[in-house]
């Protein structure tokens, strides 16, 4: 017989919050890449400025997504009391940003770790970050290839 030490409602809350965060992150990513692509296509700026604008734009997108997941984890742990981060005596919001960045990029230093139902968020964050980073790498390669060929 399966017994859960964590209340079922906490699991449901974390799954719903995680699903919402993933949907928002993917939509932000898609729409932002579309905006960047249009900017590059329509811009009369020099090649270097367009490519640098794309690179900085992609970085800003990832930072926003990391902060989205940090806020989700912070709200679940600190506000709703569902799970926690461990590894230090006290945590502030920037610790959640750090942990989200380490998880999103799949670096995983191990100095901070999640306990409780909120672990689902961070496990899903790792997969989401991997997919979005890969998507950005493909986008960057295709845009650079398209515009370097056109500018020659």
Beta-strand runs (E) in the chain:
84-86, 113-115
53 pLDDT more than 60: yes
- 7 pLDDT tier (thresholds 50, 70, 90): confident
Mean pLDDT value across residues 126-140:
97
Task: Tell me, yes or no, whether 57 lies in a domain.
Answer: yes
Q: Please state the rounded mean pLDDT for residues 127-141.
A: 96
**What is the band of 8 on the pLDDT scale with cuts at 50, 70, 90?**
confident
- Residue 6, in any domain of the structure: no
Above 60 in pLDDT, residue 152?
Answer: no
pLDDT tens by residue, 61-89? 999 999 999 999 999 999 999 999 999 98
In a domain, 3, yes or no: no
Mean pLDDT of the chain: 92
Give me the residue label for tokens 């719903």. 16
In a domain, 68, yes or no: yes
Q: Looking at the 3D structure of the chain, how many domains does it have? A: 1
The CA distance from 66 to 70, in Å, is 6
How many percent of the chain have pLDDT more than 70? Answer: 93
pLDDT (mean) for 128-144: 95
Q: Is residue 65 part of a domain?
A: yes
Domain extent, residue 23, equals 11-151
Q: What is the pLDDT of residues 84-123, one digit of tens each?
A: 999 998 899 999 999 999 999 999 898 999 999 999 999 9
Task: State both tokens at 87.
Answer: 């590894």
pLDDT value for 138: 96
- Considering the domain boundaries, does residue 4 fall inside one? no
> With contact defined as beta carbons under 8 Å apart, do 123 and 21 qualify?
no
CATH number for 30: 1.10.287.70
Q: Which of 147, 135, 149, 132 is nearest to 51 (CA)?
A: 147
pLDDT class of 3 with cuts at 50, 70, 90: low
Residue 28 domain-assigned (yes or no): yes
Q: Is residue 122 part of a domain?
A: yes
């Amino acid at each position: 017989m399966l017994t859960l030490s964590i209340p079922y409602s906490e699991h449901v809350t974390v799954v719903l919050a995680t699903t919402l965060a993933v949907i928002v992150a993917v939509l932000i990513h898609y729409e932002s890449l579309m905006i960047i692509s249009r900017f590059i296509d329509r811009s009369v700026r020099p090649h270097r400025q367009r490519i640098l604008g794309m690179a900085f734009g992609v970085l800003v997108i990832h930072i926003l997504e990391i902060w989205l997941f940090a806020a989700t984890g912070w709200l679940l742990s600190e506000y709703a009391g569902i799970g926690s981060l461990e590894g230090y005596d006290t945590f502030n919001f920037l610790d959640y940003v750090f942990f989200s960045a380490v998880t999103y990029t799949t670096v995983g230093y191990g100095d901070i770790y999640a306990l409780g139902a909120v672990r689902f968020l961070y496990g899903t964050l790792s997969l989401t970050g991997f997919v979005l980073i890969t998507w950005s790498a493909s986008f960057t390669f295709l845009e650079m290839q398209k515009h370097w060929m056109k500018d020659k």
